[in-house]
Amino acid sequence: MAVDVPGSWKPSQDNLTKAEAVLEATKSSGNLYRNGLGMIASENIVSPMVQKVVCSDLHGRYAEGLPGKRYYQGCDDFDTIESLGIDLAKKVFKANFANIQSTSGTVSNIAALKALAKPGDKITAVSTADGGHISHARMGAVGLRDLDLSTYPWDIDRMEPDIDGACDLIREINPKVCLIGQSVFLFPTPLEEISAAAHEVGATVMYDGAHVLGLIAGGQFQDPLREGADIMTGSSHKTFPGPQGGFLLSSSEDNAIHRKLNNAIFPGVCSSYHLHHVAGKVVALAEFEEYGEQYARDVVANARHLGESLAAEGFDVLAEGRNYTASHQVLTRHGEIDSGAGAKAAKLLEDSGIITNMNMLPGDTKALSPSGLRLGVQELTRVGMGKNEMAEVARFFARILLHGENPLNVKKDVSQLKSNFHIIRYCFNEEEQSGYIL
């Protein structure tokens, strides 16, 4: 008797066509970045070894709990992976506590706020209008926890919280949590002064290092856990060049706080937590311990070179008085406040094979029609670009946005430049691999 084996029947052409369309779009996206310049400040690419574990059988497995304390069988091998990762994260970030389970930087923020504050508690943070992340706002994690938000006064010239004003605000309202960190993050925050004021009123200092976590770990930005931060959250896929995910870290030696933070992740905000991505984080941590300091140093140098080169071409680059940047980011203004000039510039650059994002700058109030661009160099650095290439990239910007050249003409030159930079650097076995996945 014939047996109807699941999967043996012929699929419908309609569903097969849809699946093939997904594969084709995936390949097209890979080609876009293989042939173009990825300059979105929140993105990066992963190494071949990270790619290997992310595409492994782990993607479909569960491991609720902590190593040695699971709610499922079959986790012995993953216990080995996660235990290695916890130890590496503590070492790389010089932390007394590390949880590597979070599925994103925002999830890390939700977990930290769950552990640190109750609904209705007061919190201070950077306004989204001044570069704060959406998870720091009522629309995001702060609102999800129903916290009473006050935002710091902002020093536009220095692109950081006004130190005296921020300290005065903290002393005035006595918040439960003082949240520091931004999505637009050019310079280290004056953390020691703000932390001193926070601790004076009994507040916990939480530092969101999502964008700059790799620069922090590489010793090229600031050292939050030594400058007063009690908790540090972050993403594992921006200047830290791992797979999508997050970290939750602390300087505390108190085991009770460690338990509270772990419980905030599981069962607080994660059930199973993308084991393949956790494994990828562990490989990325091992690679970062080996190559991270040099990578972070080169990222910061390239960002400064890009800022200088764009200014030399005639662009309005923010924070000229501070040499434009001390991170991976550069900010450029392309028209009047709320004019939408940033959105128009981003579209012209995309047509030329340069992928950026429009961004609100100080004074802008409309997120979908801002005046600026936020540029990141961490991916260009990852494939080996340096000072000369930053100058060439700035010339591409000028040809497109200042001189009105046809984007398709520039796109050919962008592709030609990128053809020389397909090897992913600062990782194990880089000489044996050709880079981008298609």
pLDDT in tens, 68-95: 999 999 999 999 999 999 999 999 999 9
- The predicted model gives 24-38 an average pLDDT of 95
**Residue 13: its pLDDT value, please?**
86
41 found inside a domain: no
253 and 391 assigned to the same domain:
no
1 found inside a domain: no
- Alpha-carbon distance 418 to 380, whole Å? 9
pLDDT above 70: percentage of residues in the chain? 96
247 and 297 assigned to the same domain:
no
* Strands annotated E in 252-353: 316-317, 329-333
What b/e readout covers 187-223, taking b as 16+ CB neighbours within 10 angstroms? bbbbbebbbebbeeeebbbbbbbbbbbbbbbbebbbe
3-state SS class at 424: coil
Per the document, the length of the chain is: 438
**Residue 14: its pLDDT value, please?**
85
Which domain-ending residue is among 261, 285, 309?
A: 285
Confidence of residue 11 (pLDDT cuts 50, 70, 90): confident
pLDDT in tens, 91-127: 999 999 999 999 999 999 999 999 999 999 999 999 9
195 and 335 assigned to the same domain:
no
Burial of 68 (0-12, 13-18, 19+ CB in 10 A): exposed
**Residue 6: its pLDDT value, please?**
66
- Alpha-carbon distance 396 to 374, whole Å? 16
18 found inside a domain: no
CB 205 within 8 A of CB 229: yes
pLDDT in tens, 55-69: 999 999 999 999 999
Q: Which domain holds residue 112?
A: 52-285
**Residue 258: its pLDDT value, please?**
98
**Residue 5: its pLDDT value, please?**
65
2 found inside a domain: no
Can you say how many angstroms the Cα of residue 262 is from the centroid of all Cα atoms in its chain? 22
- Asked whether the predicted pLDDT for residue 193 surpasses 70, the reply is yes
* Number of H-type helices and E-type strands within the chain: 14, 17
- The predicted model gives 270-278 an average pLDDT of 94
- Alpha-carbon distance 49 to 112, whole Å? 30
**Domain total of the chain:** 2
58 and 189 assigned to the same domain:
yes
Confidence of residue 434 (pLDDT cuts 50, 70, 90): low
39 found inside a domain: no
CATH code for the domain of 349: 3.90.1150.10
- The predicted model gives 374-385 an average pLDDT of 98
- Alpha-carbon distance 173 to 200, whole Å? 12
Q: What is the token pair recorded at 350?
A: 């995309």
Going by the DSSP 8-state scheme, the letter that residue 11 receives in this structure is P
323 and 227 assigned to the same domain:
no
280 and 296 assigned to the same domain:
no
Q: What is the token pair recorded at 252?
A: 């505390």
Q: How far is CA 126 from CA 179, 183, 238, in A?
A: 8, 10, 20
261 and 295 assigned to the same domain:
no
Which domain-ending residue is among 231, 251, 285?
A: 285
Least confident of 13-27, 165-179, 251-265, 305-319: 13-27
- Asked whether the predicted pLDDT for residue 10 surpasses 90, the reply is no
- The predicted model gives 183-209 an average pLDDT of 97
How far separated are the first and last CA of the chain, in Å rounded?
Answer: 44
CATH code for the domain of 218: 3.40.640.10
- Asked whether the predicted pLDDT for residue 1 surpasses 90, the reply is no
Burial of 151 (0-12, 13-18, 19+ CB in 10 A): buried
101 found inside a domain: yes
Q: What is the token pair recorded at 289?
A: 């311990």
Mean pLDDT of the chain: 95
- Alpha-carbon distance 388 to 419, whole Å? 15
Can you say how many angstroms the Cα of residue 90 is from the centroid of all Cα atoms in its chain? 19
260 and 305 assigned to the same domain:
no
Confidence of residue 29 (pLDDT cuts 50, 70, 90): very high
308 and 190 assigned to the same domain:
no
- Alpha-carbon distance 63 to 277, whole Å? 13
348 found inside a domain: yes
- The predicted model gives 398-415 an average pLDDT of 98
315 and 275 assigned to the same domain:
no
361 and 341 assigned to the same domain:
yes
Confidence of residue 138 (pLDDT cuts 50, 70, 90): confident
415 found inside a domain: yes
Confidence of residue 429 (pLDDT cuts 50, 70, 90): confident
**Residue 12: its pLDDT value, please?**
85
Which domain-ending residue is among 226, 253, 285?
A: 285
> Which has the higher per-residue pLDDT, 216 or 10?
216
- The predicted model gives 312-340 an average pLDDT of 97
- Asked whether the predicted pLDDT for residue 432 surpasses 60, the reply is no
Residues near 171 by beta carbon (within 8 Å), at least 6 away in sequence = 197, 200, 201
276 and 331 assigned to the same domain:
no
Q: How many Cβ atoms sit within 10 Å of the Cβ of residue 355?
A: 17
Note the helical H segments in 36-135. 48-54, 76-93, 105-116
